[in-house]
Amino acid sequence: MHGERSYLLFRGPAADVGQWGAQPYATDVERPLPPASLTWPADHAWFIAADVDTSWLCVGGTQQLIDAVLARPDLDAEPATHGAAPADDDREAR
């Protein structure tokens, strides 16, 4: 990973995602952490990539997983191929 961002690597059960031990600034000031940018299980069977723009994320996995995500009517999901991204004007249309 390179660029302008710093990353931290956390390891643990999925139930601990988001509970990474950030200490509050003070007793009355919470210190929330952003969602994970990259998430995958130990067997690497699937992968989730998210950016600071929380309006989207990318899910990778088996065709069965992708079909299940695409079948969910409550998700605004569309198939993609490696390296492909929707055109900016396609995003505006949604």
Question: What end-to-end distance do the CA atoms of the chain give, in Å?
Answer: 31
Q: What percent of the chain has pLDDT over 70?
A: 66
Do the Cβ atoms of 50 and 37 come closer than 8 Å? yes
The domain segmentation of the chain, as residue ranges, is: 35-79
Taking residues 48-60, report their average pLDDT: 82
pTM above 0.75, yes or no: no
pLDDT at 89 over 70: no
Do the Cβ atoms of 46 and 24 come closer than 8 Å? no
SS3 category, 50:
strand
What mean pLDDT value characterizes the chain? 77
